[in-house]
Amino acid sequence: MGNSEQVEKRVIVALDVPDEQSAIALIDRLPQVSFWKVGLELFTSTGPKILEVLKSKEKRIFLDLKFHDIPNTVAGACRSAARYGVDLLTIHAAAGEDALKAASEAVQEAATQAGVKPPKLIAITLLTSISSRQLAFDLKVPVELPEYILDMALLAWDVGLDGVVCSPQELAQLRPRFKDDFLLVCPGVRPTWADKGDQKRSLTPAQAIIAGADYLVIGRPITTATEPELAWKRISEELTTVA
C-alpha cells in the first residue's frame, strides 16, 4: 500500500437505499467515495438508471445481484449486466460449475460486443449472515463452515473466476491459498463503534485489510449514520494505520 488514499479506494460503500433519490443524495453527500455497491433493493427499484448516474459521476460500480439459477439463465443475466460496464459482478458459487463457466463466458462475450471492459466476476462463497449452526441445521450442509468456504473458493478458482466474496474471518484461511490477483471481497466489515446488525462473521476495516482483503464492503455503518460524512472520515482514519 502506498498511502491512505489508496486504502480508501478499496472501500466499497453499499448503496443500500430504497430509491434513486435517496441514492443520489448519498452519493452527493460523500464525494470522496469512489466505489459504490448497487444491490438487489436499489437495482429492483431503479433498474440500470442508477448505474448511469454513477457512471456520469465517474464512480466505480459493484453490481451485487448474486445470480443463482440454471446455467442458461445465469449466462443471460451476466450477458446483460456486463454491457453496463460495471467493475464487479456477483454470482453464487453454489449455482455450480456449469453455471459459473457459462457466466464467465457470457461476461467476456457481452463486454467485447459492447466495447466495454468486462467486469470482474466474483463468486459468493456463503452469505455473511449465515452462521456455522445455520449452515449445519438450516441448510443441512454436512461440512464445517471453513471447509465449505474453501471448497466454494476453490470451485471459483478452478473455473477461472476473478475472485470470491467471503467474510473477513475467512481471509486468514483463503489469502495464503490463492494468488494476489484472485480478489477477496469482504462484506460484513464493521468498525468497533458500529452495530454488527445481522452480520455473524465480521472484523474491523483495518483488521480485514491486514488479513488480506482486496476490497471492503461497508454499508449501514456509513449509510444509516446520522452524519455519513463523519462515519466515512472515522473509517478512513482507521485505515491510515495500515497504509
pLDDT score of 205 more than 80: yes
Which pTM value belongs to this model? 0.93
Active site residues: 66
Span 196-220, average pLDDT:
82
pLDDT digits over 66-114, tens only? 999 999 999 999 999 999 999 999 999 999 999 999 999 999 999 999 9
The C-alpha atoms of residue 155 and residue 98 are separated, in whole angstroms, by 11
217 closest CA partner among 119, 90, 43, 93? 90
* Residue that has been written with the C-alpha cell 466505480 in this structure: 60
Confidence of residue 1 (pLDDT cuts 50, 70, 90): very low
- For residue 205, the enclosing domain spans 4-242
Helices 71-82, 97-114: crossing angle, 10 deg rounding? 30
Confidence of residue 200 (pLDDT cuts 50, 70, 90): low
Q: What is the mean pLDDT of the chain?
A: 92
Confidence of residue 179 (pLDDT cuts 50, 70, 90): confident
Q: First and final CA of the chain: distance in angstroms?
A: 6
The C-alpha atoms of residue 99 and residue 70 are separated, in whole angstroms, by 6
Residue 135's pLDDT is: 96
The C-alpha atoms of residue 220 and residue 54 are separated, in whole angstroms, by 19
CATH number at residue 190: 3.20.20.70
Run of H or E residues at 164: strand 163-165
pLDDT score of 196 more than 70: no
Q: How many domains does the chain have?
A: 1
Higher per-residue confidence, 57 vs 3: 57
* CB neighbour list of residue 179: distance below 8 Å, 6 or more residues apart: none
Q: How far, rounded to the nearest angstrom, does the alpha carbon of residue 181 sit from its chain's CA centroid?
A: 16
**What is the per-residue burial (b if ≥16 Cβ within 10 Å, else e) of 46-81?**
bebebbebbeeeebbbbbbbbbbeebeebbbbbbeb
- Listed range (38-42, 149-153, 182-186, 234-238) with the worst mean pLDDT: 234-238
